[in-house]
């Protein structure tokens, strides 16, 4: 790959990943409700989903993936429905103060697993991700001629941009969350986070 191609891909990737969409809104909603640390697990799930799409592109499975339109529709509906479910759950959550909003210690492993999987499912149904990896990426580079070094560079570049961008959104949302100390404020925050997630789920399902 040429230096110009790498820069063009980097800029395009940053614009697409940083532009608010289902992944960004879901990340912000979780960070507002759960804080920065737990949201990193969700971001790891999103990054894993992106990595799998990259594998599809690198191994020539993009063409096959296009043939499974109904499958991706089902995944998108499941992902959207789950976000709506979480949004409703956050909306109805009791207004506990910030320090007490955490998973019980005995169930944290299961919660992390569900959180991680929800990030993967969201990515599988995210039309922005599908468009980038299965649509735009092949127009920049000849995927069949990429070397292992090229694949490694693209993977590090794309996942690095994605992870750092979402982490920045999550950190900003978590910092804003610290401003809400009273139960009344937390109730409003819960409903705000729930509304964001419901909207994200609706956008994913309707895309």
pLDDT in tens, 34-62: 889 889 999 999 999 999 888 888 886 55
What rounded mean pLDDT belongs to the chain?
A: 75
Query: Percentage of the chain with pLDDT > 90?
Result: 16
More confident residue, 10 or 91: 10
108, pLDDT greater than 70: no
At 35, is the secondary structure helix, strand, or coil?
Answer: coil
User: pLDDT confidence of 103, banded at 50, 70, 90?
Assistant: very low
Tally of structural domains, the chain: 1
Reported as a single tens digit per residue, the pLDDT across 17-34 is 887 777 888 888 888 878
**Rounded Cα gap, residues 167 and 169, in angstroms:** 5
Give helix then strand counts, H and E, for the chain. 10, 0
Q: The domain containing residue 162 runs over which residues?
A: 33-206
For 65, left (φ over 0), alpha (ψ -120 to 50), or beta?
Answer: alpha
Return the percentage of the chain with pLDDT > 70, whole number. 66
| Number of other CB atoms surrounding residue 146 within 10 Å | 16
pLDDT tens, 124-148? 877 778 778 877 787 788 877 888 8
Q: Is 25 within the bounds of a domain?
A: no
Give the helix ranges, DSSP H, for 93-182: 108-124, 127-131, 137-140, 148-177
| Residue 23 counted as domain residue | no
In a domain, 5, yes or no: no
60 within some domain: yes
* Mean pLDDT score, 62-89: 61
With respect to residue 19, please indicate whether it lies within any of the assigned structural domains.
no
For residues 187 and 121, the model is more confident at 121
Could you read off the pLDDT of 159-198 as tens digits, one per residue? 999 999 999 989 988 887 766 555 665 566 666 666 766 7
Q: How far is CA 26 from CA 38, 56, 106, 131, in A?
A: 13, 24, 25, 19
Neighbours of 121 (CB within 10 A): 22
pLDDT band at 66; cut points 50, 70, 90: low
Kindly report the backbone phi and psi dihedral angles of residue 143, in degrees, each rounded to the nearest multiple of 5, phi listed first: -60, -30
Q: Is residue 1 part of a domain?
A: no
**Does a structural domain hold residue 8?**
no
What predicted TM-score, i.e. pTM, was given to this entire model? Answer: 0.69
Burial label, 100 (beta-carbon count in 10 A; 0-12, 13-18, 19+): exposed
Assigned domain for 68 exists: yes
């Amino acid at each position: 790959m040429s230096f110009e191609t790498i820069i063009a891909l980097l800029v395009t990737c940053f614009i697409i990943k940083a532009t608010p969409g289902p992944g960004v809104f879901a990340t912000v909603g979780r960070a507002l409700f759960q804080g920065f640390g737990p949201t990193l697990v969700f971001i790891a799930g999103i990054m894993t989903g992106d990595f799998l799409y990259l594998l599809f592109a690198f191994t020539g499975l993009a063409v096959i993936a296009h043939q499974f339109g109904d499958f991706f529709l089902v995944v998108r509906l499941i992902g959207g429905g789950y976000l709506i479910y979480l949004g409703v759950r956050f909306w109805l959550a009791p207004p506990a103060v910030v320090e007490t909003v955490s998973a019980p210690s005995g169930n944290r492993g299961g919660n992390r697993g569900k959180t991680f999987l929800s990030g993967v499912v969201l990515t599988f149904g995210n039309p922005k991700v599908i468009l980038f990896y299965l649509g735009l990426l092949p127009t920049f580079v000849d995927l069949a001629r990429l070397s292992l070094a090229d694949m490694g560079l693209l993977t590090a570049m794309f996942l690095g941009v994605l992870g750092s961008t979402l982490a920045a959104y999550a950190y900003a949302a978590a910092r804003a969350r610290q401003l809400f100390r009273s139960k009344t404020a937390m109730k409003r925050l819960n409903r705000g986070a729930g509304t964001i997630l419901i909207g994200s789920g609706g956008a994913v399902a309707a895309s």
